């Protein structure tokens, strides 16, 4: 059965679809956290440029953020789901 690009069509079983959905959710959470930290850090940079006194905590949090740090609390199954996504 051809896929959209003319190649074979990938058919996922129920468990695979669940893993893919969970992995996508985990990935969305990681991307969301990064976006929030980036936005907060950027606001501090703009504040400094405008001469405002800022603590720098948000910018430090962004610079120190490591997406792999979010993997350690995940169980093996969740890590597989994330990699599947």
**Tens-digit pLDDT profile for residues 15-64:** 888 888 998 998 899 899 999 999 998 888 888 888 888 788 998 998 89
More confident residue, 5 or 36: 36
Per-residue pLDDT, averaged over 1-20, amounts to 70
SS3 assignment for 4-49: CCCCECCCCCHHHHHHHHHHHHHHHHHHHHHHHHHHHHHHHHHHHH
Q: Residue 79 carries which DSSP code?
A: H
Q: What is the pLDDT of residue 6?
A: 57
Q: What is the pLDDT of residue 5?
A: 56
Q: Treating both helix axes as pointing N-terminal to C-terminal, what angle do 14-49 and 76-84 enclose, rounded to 10 degrees?
A: 80
Q: Residue 56 carries which DSSP code?
A: -
pLDDT(4) > 80: no
Q: What is the pLDDT of residue 2?
A: 46
Asked if 39 contacts 32 with a C-beta cutoff of 8 angstroms, the reply is no
- pTM for the predicted model, two decimal places: 0.69
């Amino acid at each position: 059965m051809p896929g959209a690009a003319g190649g074979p069509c990938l058919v996922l079983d129920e468990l695979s679809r669940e893993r893919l959905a969970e992995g996508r959710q985990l990935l969305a959470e990681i991307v969301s956290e990064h976006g929030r930290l980036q936005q907060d850090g950027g606001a501090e940079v703009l504040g400094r440029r405008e001469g405002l006194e800022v603590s720098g905590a948000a910018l430090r949090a962004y610079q120190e953020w490591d997406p792999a740090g979010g993997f350690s609390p995940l169980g093996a199954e969740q890590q597989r789901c994330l990699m599947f996504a």
